[in-house]
Structure 1
Amino acid sequence: MKIVLVGAGKVGTTIIRFLVEEGHDITIIDNNLKVVNETINNYDVNGVVGNGASRAIQIEAQVDKADVLIATTANDEQNILCCLVGKTLGVPSAIARVRTPDYSEQIDFMSKEFGIDLILNPELEAAYEISKILRFPSATTIETFSKDRIEIVEMKVSSDSVLVDKDLATLRQELKTKFLICAVERNQDVIIPTGNFVVKAEDKLYVIAGKAEIVQFFKKIGIYKARSKNIMIIGGSKISYYLTKQLLEAKAEVKIIEVDEMRAHDLSAAFPDATIIVGNGSNQTLLFEEGIQKMDAVVTLTGLDEENIVISLLSKKLNVPKVITKINHFAYPEILESIGLETIISPKSFTAYNILRYVRSLANTNNKVENLYKFVNDKVEAVEFHIEKESKYTNVKLKNLKLKENTIIACIKRNEQIIIPTGEDYIQAGDNVIVICAGRIIKHFEEIFG
């Protein structure tokens, strides 16, 4: 596909990296000559310097010949205007990044009245992800499918875990729960396991199951934790705003520490039921005074990665049960994991995954891509396909279908039924099918078969 992207900042470059990997023809527009030149050199894309909302600049970038226009500048109004201009030039699909809370409450209106096909809010998406983890703090990360009916949760195996030195087939029998360990990271290697795979201490497991079965799995292996009720948020960012709103609706106790007095005042006015403290979140004396050591969870959401990391390390040292760290620029999450920071949130990644899902859906005429996540440092994909119609792969027992290496059909949703499949199961038209694949990109459902 020919795709034009306006705004090559940290969100834009993450999107560019994924789209280039998938072989799309990319042109970027940015008003910073240095940024354009660096992006061209790093990703082998075309570039135009100028205002992406200018009709002349969009014509120079050949928006009128593009399949998709993506606007990801730091300015919501400019992103909306870029899409409106692109639509007048005839671009079939327009995507806008919109972050302001007032606009986010009008997404349906803007989509309908302005003709913007997809409106994304990285901060709102990040808040949803954090909320999911705080509701189920036993997991390191949680990815959801089929409208939150199915989850993939990440967990690390401790040396005293009941899972250690047992093969997966035995675990399925002993735990009497419908689940599947669909991927394993061991010593930075990725494994798509079979039934005879033996779990070892320090393995990082990715477990897929229905929502209720995930809870049962964690209870049966003895590491279930109740939802976090007392939560400290460091930094009064846009993510903090969205997260606080969600947590208060869930009847949690929320305390925010924000260094900017004006921003703290705004948050206090918006959330009278939350406790807002004006102060530097990296001040240890202040953190102790505000009871950090008594919290169920600490979420670091300042604008500085370094500050988030330091405060998170202090929280871990104080044995806060759940610590969540927001990272924008840090490129080596395995280093953070090695120092004990396991739950890392990257808002730009959520936006990139949603755009990838949308772009792949445009290219799939038979089986729509409903959801897409990358994990294990983007080495593994989980893709949810909706099977539109019968084919040579439907109504055939899975044991009789040859899948490509490092590929599994991990879950099938059929009407209200969630199936963790065995070789005796099969796919029907109308099913949603979740596929896990390591080492390759799955653009079309048919590509998983050998």
Structure 2
Amino acid sequence: MKIVIIGAGEVGYHVARRLALEHKDVVVVDRDGAALRRVSDSLDVQVVRGEGGSPLVLQEAGIREAEILLAVTDSDEVNLVACLVTDMLSPNTRKLVRIRNADFDACHSLLREGAPHIESVINPEIEAVRTIERLIRLPGAVEAGELVGGLVQFVGIRLDEGSSMDGMPLPELPKYLGSAKVLVAAVLRDEKLIIPSGKDFLKAGDLVYLVSGKKHLLQVMEAFGKASKPVRRVLIVGGGRLGLRLAASLEKDHYQVKIIERRSDRCRELAARLEKAVILHGDGSDQSLLAEENVRGVDVMVTLTGDEQTNILVSLLARKMGVGAAITRLTRFAYFPLMSSIGVHQIVSPRLSAIDSILQHIRRGKVLSTLSIQGEQAEVMEAVALPTSDIVGRPLSQLSFPKGALVITIIRGDEIIIPSGDSVIAPDDRVVIFARRKSVPKVEKALTVKLEYF
């Protein structure tokens, strides 16, 4: 698979990095020489310097041989022009484009249906808002994702000190949870990701990744000591594009929303575009302002400024002042492993959300969705089991499935199956697979070809 990526920024760089590790043929195009040097110095990919919308540059990048064009520069206009020119030079190349401007929201279907025949329009802010809303609905969860249209829930829960589950062997967990169908997909302990076996146990401080049917999720959360009152009051620090989009969405669901924004002109714009949200002009890191606004009575604070260091500090301050939960926007992936050690647990990254959306279109086989875990340590993939794959027709215990990967759910029609070693995948079942990053290429092959061939 050859992929041409227009844009060597954070999204372009990290998608190229993931794909290079999976031994795909990647070409990165950017006009910024420094950005390209970062790519060429650290990744095994080709680079081409120039404008992504230039026909000559695209031909130099080998667009006619490319299966996919991925346009992810910071300019929506450049991304769209690159897709248009690609459509003229190589009509069969699949085109994925990142568009951040909310003015294009109503045009996504038109872009997919008309010229330049874009396969997918990805807005990282839309994906980030969905992630935030899932965390708001589950304030006891550190990470939360939905699969199979929301029927299957994937959550990460921190096991507290003094929990009755401290030291519990995993085979005994189903007895403790009663009728709730749940599977432990992975455990993060001391920054080490563990794919559990029957010999493993839970330990206080673990970040436990669970997969459960939607109807059993609250029962599971309560069993892990994460029962909480419904969230009604949300305070957003930072009224940029993402803050506005989140506030508008929360208003529709009847949350009580306040926004703190330090730019007076932006405050006026927010007041004009939102119906019910209270707009406060000030600095979200000002402790006296937070106290004046009774931050202790806030159910969830979401820090969405453009400065991630401010976001981290405000989240820590909010938790110290008694806020129920704090969700923090981060952009630098290098910060992810450090956050839990300083007390920042609920993280949202628009860039990571964009990468997840992109990868589901690049993966081989009928991959329907992907979720990144702990930055980029692992991945959850939802896919359709093809009749040609050797994962169908035999008990899971008899499959030589890739090391570091685990089938965590089988969906057959309306039935959600938490699998055991005796479970059998049928053709056209939906399967959810948890895989370490290094195992993903083999999982891709397992979804499309016979396992004995690799």
- 1:400 corresponds in structure 2 to 398
2:9 aligned residue: 9
User: Matched residue of 1:14: which SS?
Assistant: helix
Indicate yes or no: 2:154 matched with 1:143. no
Work out whether residues 190 and 376 of structure 1, in 8 Å CA contact, stay in contact via their aligned partners in 2.
no
Instruction: Give the drift of 1:449.
Output: 5.1
Does the 8 Å CA contact 2:396/2:423 hold for their aligned counterparts? yes
Q: Distance in 1 between matches of 2:313 and 2:293?
A: 17
CA distance in 2, matches of 1:110, 1:377: 30
The 10-residue stretch of structure 1 (188-197 or 423-432) with the greater mean CA deviation from structure 2: 188-197
Alignment partner, residue 339 of structure 1: 342
CA deviation after TM superposition for structure 1 residue 392, in Å:
4.4
Matched ranges for 1:6-405 at <5 A: 6-91=6-91, 92-114=93-115, 115-176=117-178, 177-329=180-332, 331-360=334-363, 363-364=364-365, 368-389=366-387, 392-405=390-403
Counterparts in 2 of 1:334 and 1:248: CA distance versus 1, 3 Å: same
1: CA distance, partners of 2:81 / 2:229:
45
> In the aligned structure 2, how far is the partner of 1:151 from the partner of 1:350?
17
Deviation for aligned residue 1:401? 2.8
8 Å Cα contact 1:382-1:436 kept in structure 2: yes
Taking a change above 3 Å as real, the CA distance of residues 275 and 194 of structure 1, as seen in their structure-2 partners, is same
Q: Contact 2:183/2:210 (CA < 8 Å) preserved in 1?
A: yes
CA distance in 1, matches of 2:400, 2:65: 39
User: In the alignment, is the contact (CA less than 8 A) between 2:390 and 2:446 conserved in 1?
Assistant: no
Between 434-443 and 104-113, the greater mean CA deviation after superposition: 434-443
**Please, which moves more after superposition, 290-299 or 120-129?**
290-299
Deviation for aligned residue 1:223: 1.8
SS at match of 1:147: helix
Q: Which runs of 5+ in 2 are unaligned?
A: none
Conserved 8 A contact 1:15-1:352: yes
Q: Which letter does structure 2 place at the counterpart of 1:306?
A: Q
1:355 Cα shift? 1.5
Task: Check the 8 A contact 2:237/2:303 in 1, yes or no.
Answer: yes
Match of 1:443 in 2: 444
Q: Quick check: 1:259–1:278 contact (8 Å CA) kept in 2?
A: yes
Separation (CA, whole Å) in 2 of partners of 1:48 and 1:121: 25
Tell me whether 124-133 or 265-274 shows the greater mean CA deviation: 265-274
Instruction: Calculate the TM-score normalised by the size of structure 1.
Output: 0.94
Task: Report the alpha carbon displacement of residue 229 of structure 1 after superposing the two structures with TM.
Answer: 1.0
Kept in 1, the 8 Å contact 2:140–2:228? The answer is yes
Do the aligned residues in 1 keep the contact of 2:388 with 2:450 (CA within 8 Å)? no
CA RMSD in angstroms, aligned pairs only? 1.8
Change (3 A) 1:329 1:407: closer
Give the aligned length: 445
**Are 2:336 and 2:374, in contact at CA under 8 Å, matched by a contact in 1?**
no
Q: Which amino acid aligns with 1:385?
A: A
The amino acid across from 2:264 in the alignment is E
Residues 444, 237 of structure 1: alpha-carbon distance in 2 compared, 3 angstrom cutoff: farther
For 1:162, the aligned partner's letter is S
Deviation at 1:143, TM superposition (A): 1.5
Where does structure 1 lack aligned partners over 5 or more consecutive residues? Answer: none
Contact 1:305 1:330 in 2 (8 A): no
Q: Which residue of 1 is the match for residue 412 of structure 2?
A: 414
Change (3 A) 1:28 1:400: closer
8 Å contact from structure 1 (residues 234, 300) kept in 2: yes
Q: Per the alignment, in what secondary structure is the counterpart of residue 387 of structure 2?
A: coil
How far 1:249 moved relative to its partner?
1.3
Identity of aligned residues (%): 30
Deviation at residue 434 of structure 1 after TM alignment: 0.9
